[in-house]
Amino acid sequence: MIWKTDASHTSIHFLARHMMLTKVRGEFQDFSVDFNLDTEHPEAATVEARIKTASVFTKDEKRDAHLRSAEFFDAEAYPEMVFKSTRVERTGDETAKMYGDLTIRDVTKPAVLEVSYLGLSKAPWGATSVGFEAKTKINREDWGLTWNVTLETGGWLVSKDITIEIEAEFVQSESA
């Protein structure tokens, strides 16, 4: 069954350490998700998410421009990053691991999302929605995102490990 992304109730965030001290959070504001789910057989679900790299937003225009530049996402040359699921493994009644291929800057590597099912609900206007949250941690250097600066006190300006957090709500498609 095809489900459409409820974009106003879906977010894709990331988190990185700055100067080995604080957590800097950002988000991608332009994305699309093709989601196929049979609620009776969730382990057969498939996802393909396409994220526009130029839509990165961290509340700092200079940092956003740097992230769009060739030193990071190179949004002009690589306008999208893509996650395509390959399989789902149930780990509990409301949890699963979603395995897939993540492509950033034309580098494709495996990634695993820890997924939690948040429920199914019918809105007062009749639409049926389903919610999930997902989280993973990646080493950005595995995808060629290697720009960094060594700190005088030791460590790096930007952490190599990046946490990705997704809150997603999908509405059952009328054609489903």
Q: pLDDT by residue (tens digit) across 104-118?
A: 999 999 999 999 999
CA distances from 79 to 28, 92, 105 (A): 12, 36, 9
Q: Categorize the per-residue pLDDT at 174 as very low, low, confident or very high, splitting at 50, 70 and 90.
A: low
Q: Categorize the per-residue pLDDT at 176 as very low, low, confident or very high, splitting at 50, 70 and 90.
A: very low
pLDDT in tens, 49-75: 999 999 999 999 999 999 999 999 999
Average pLDDT, stretch 133-152?
Answer: 91
pLDDT surpassing 90 at residue 19 = no
Round to whole Å and give the CA distance between 63 and 93.
Answer: 41
Q: Which among 168, 41, 166 has a CA at the least distance from the CA of 113? A: 166
Q: What is the pTM of this model?
A: 0.91
CATH no. for residue 165? 2.40.128.110
Round to whole Å and give the CA distance between 173 and 13.
Answer: 25
Q: What is the per-residue pLDDT for 175?
A: 57
Total domains present in the chain: 1
Q: Which domain holds residue 73?
A: 2-172
pLDDT surpassing 80 at residue 14 = yes
pLDDT surpassing 90 at residue 103 = yes
